[in-house]
Amino acid sequence: MKRLSRKVKNKANRSVNLIAQYNPKSPITEQYRLIRNNLHFSSVDKEIKTIVVTSPEPGDGKTTTAANLAIVLAQQGKQVLLVDADLRKPSVHFTFNVSNIDGLTSILTKVIEIETAITKTNVPNLDLLTSGPTPPNPSELLGSKTMELIIKELKEAYEYIVFDTPPLLVVTDAQIMASKSDGVVMVVASGKTKKDRGIKAKELVGKANSQLLGVVVNGVDSKKDNYGQYG
């Protein structure tokens, strides 16, 4: 298959959520590096290239985690693509302050080619594929053969692909993407995510025959512990 061209659009990006870029010495950034390092350990027996980032419920911080994880992977010199696969309530374009006129759904519906939809960020080695226009059938698009072909083509061009997906307990989209990925990073919120909801989300990952790479705990009191944990 022809290798994906790297001639993509260049957009400026700036957001307080992108702490891994703008405050690389922060303890929070160090936690994202810890996640990155643990992903590398997880790939000893199985290559990890496609990573789904999700959460049990909305508001757990999955998009912030996906964005910063993609940044620290890129900072290691890896070619990384961050994909907004939350086709219902996309937010990656807000995080990076870019247009969402075209994106993943535009490729899936064959409106534009992959190269046209990808945006080059100001983070070296990090590209962005926003969600595109909201479709009436997100689950069907993500579960389609066309989506599998797109992932296959992207894997030829990037060393890591990070998918930001909807919460597991809200819609089936994340479970569908989990079944197409090498592993899942689960994001939970300290003091918010109930234990039974976390367990249910973990079970759904298992039903998708995907590997749970780890759990990120957001919102831990910095006076008691670090921002996030991975285990």
**What per-residue confidence (pLDDT) applies to 192?**
82
Q: Where are the alpha helices (DSSP H) in the chain?
A: 19-22, 27-42, 62-75, 92-96, 104-108, 114-117, 138-142, 145-157, 173-179, 195-207
Mean pLDDT, consecutive 10-residue stretches, the chain (231 aa), reads 42 51 61 74 77 92 90 92 96 92 96 94 94 96 97 96 95 96 89 85 91 80 41 35
- Cβ proximity of 216 and 186 under 8 Å: yes
**What per-residue confidence (pLDDT) applies to 61?**
85
